[in-house]
Amino acid sequence: MMAPPFDPGALADAAAPLLGIPLTAESRAQAIVHLSIAAQQAELLLSAGIGDEDEPAPVYRP
Amino acid sequence: MTPLLDGSAQGIAAAVEGGFASAVEVTEAALGRIEARDDAYGAFTDIVARRALAKAAAIDAARARGERVGPLAGAPFAVKNLFDVKGLATRAGSKINRDLPPAAADATLVAKLEAAGAVLVGALNMGEYAYDFTGENAHDGPSRNPHDLAHMAGGSSGGSGAAVAGGLVPIALGSDTNGSIRVPSSFCGTFGLKPTYGRLSRARTFPFVASLDHLGPFARSVTDLALAYDAMLGRDSDDPAQADVAPMPSALTLHDGIGDLRIAKLGGWFARSGDPCAFEAVDRVAAALNATRTVELAGAAKARAAAYLITMAEGAALHLGRLRTRAQDFDPDVRDRLIAGAMLPGAWVAQAQKFRRIFHTQALDLFRDVDILLAPATPVRAPKLGQRTFTLDGEELLLRPNIGLFTQPISFIGLPVVAVPVWTAGERLPIGVQVIAPPWREDLALRVARALERDGVVSAPVAHVP
């Protein structure tokens, strides 16, 4: 199933009150810019074919 | 005293050791030079004159007693203001941290440099909370590029680059999460070492991104860089993130030349999206090293993307409480990136950490066939202060998030790098090249940098007095 289009404005509006972060109109606009850049980076990253068994880099050693 | 201050830490130490200058005389001269020049550079945020003079007097007294005074005896140094300095609040470039109590003890690396005889003279300007490549600071004003004051020093260790290039100190310490030592080194024309991730202690420094934070030195000579690095080696039980790897001092092999090292340029991601001057600098360094091969790190674009996402998320997690309660006290440019980072889907960050291991494996495979990789440090020379965008490959991009295009994939997997400055006739500003070695082989990167310096291919002159 195709992922729905990424909507940074909806994410910002939903997440800010949940995170308890006050969001001015100026901050909202800039956060949307940065979320959009992040989404582009994530799209590139997720195209890498990362496997289920691939271990993440940091391994906790008790 | 001018020739000593314009020279190297090694030269100062030799003069102090030999009785040609006292540590107090050198320290007084350095403090006077900072007083005279730093209004133009904006490098320092704190001066610790009393402490410095007391340390210098102790060195002179030790020498008078016939004791060894250390390989950096009397050499002034300064540290990015995210290093704890006993008695100062560790501001980390922020307004908020000024409310913290004064640090109770020095950062481990400060103590190690002082144990080698160096003299701390102050703390240095930086981009807020190290989330910056420009060297601009909303609270303290910008660090300025000593080679052209209208231009950026680079960040986030902007004060470190400016202080060394401006001749205020021969050695400075900075931090590098995504390029914050290598970018100001490139813009200011200094040598900078980002060691292997986990090599040097991070104890008692203010963090940014635990997965990616490194600390390291700036200097105007490779020998000074190596002296500072060697002095800071060693296991520190105060840093749980430090790797359990034996120290490998660089001094013994520093002057060995390139010998039969296999050296190659990085192509692909590292050969596009930059001004021609960035690639010409790599070509000049490669030609001097007889490096004719070009190799690929195929996952570099994805590595940069992964580093970008980890930085956003971990940086936001660090500052979430402050974003909730003191959002108005942040630099807006930093705050809004952190706010976005707090909202990132966790799946993106988890996948980024998985890709870190995949890319690390790719790099280790490449290092079976190559000893040293060369790549640009920055896509452009230092932009003008206040500049918000630049154009790469015909596309206008935000400047702050994109200056680290070439540094981020490398620090993502913690490889050691020496940034070396390349100058072009007719240009006031330099540009840096990354000399990249396999994990734990700082000695190789320093050795290559020293060979380039010896042959006059790279250099780090003191800027003309403003």
Q: How many domains does chain B have?
A: 1
Contact check, Cβ <8 Å, A21/B327: yes
- Per-residue confidence at B68, pLDDT binned at 50, 70, 90? very high
Q: Spot the catalytic one: B8, B22, B55, B80.
A: B80
pLDDT at B275: 96
Distance from the A11 Cα atom to the nearest Cα atom in chain B, whole angstroms: 7
By CA distance, what is B414's nearest residue in A?
A57
Asked whether residue B380 is domain-assigned, the answer is yes
Distance from the B326 Cα atom to the nearest Cα atom in chain A, whole angstroms: 10
Chain B residues in contact with A54 (beta carbon < 8 A): 354, 357-358
- Per-residue confidence at B283, pLDDT binned at 50, 70, 90? very high
Contact check, Cβ <8 Å, B356/A56: yes
Of the listed ranges A49-53, B97-101, B260-264, the one predicted with least confidence: A49-53
pLDDT at A4: 73
Asked whether residue B465 is domain-assigned, the answer is no
Closest CA to B183 of B410, B5, B437: B410
Rounded Cα–Cα distance for residues A48 and B143 (Å)? 39
Q: If you compute the radius of gyration of chain B from its CA atoms, what whole number of angstroms results?
A: 20
Asked whether residue B87 is domain-assigned, the answer is yes
Contact check, Cβ <8 Å, A19/B354: no
ipTM field? 0.93
Where in the sequence is the domain holding B63, given as residue range(s)? Answer: 2-454
The CATH number linked to B400 is 3.90.1300.10
Chain B residues in contact with A44 (beta carbon < 8 A): 301-302, 305
Asked whether residue B463 is domain-assigned, the answer is no
Asked whether residue B459 is domain-assigned, the answer is no
Asked whether residue B23 is domain-assigned, the answer is yes
Asked whether residue B404 is domain-assigned, the answer is yes
Residue B49 has a CB neighbour count (10 Å cut-off) of 15
Closest CA to B17 of B57, B66, B77, B53: B66
Asked whether residue B335 is domain-assigned, the answer is yes
Contact check, Cβ <8 Å, B340/A46: no
* Annotation marks residue B156 as catalytic: yes
> Looking at the complex, does the CB of residue A13 fall below 8 Å from at least one CB of chain B?
no
Q: Which residues pair with B392 in a beta bridge?
A: B395
Q: Which residues pair with B433 in a beta bridge?
A: B376, B420
Tell me which residues of chain B have a C-beta less than 8 Å from any C-beta of chain A: 211, 299, 301-302, 304-306, 308-309, 312, 320, 323-324, 327, 332, 335-337, 339-345, 348, 350-358, 360, 398, 401
pLDDT in tens, B143-165: 999 999 999 999 999 999 999 99
Residue B187 CA: distances (Å) to CA of B40, B180, B378: 17, 11, 8
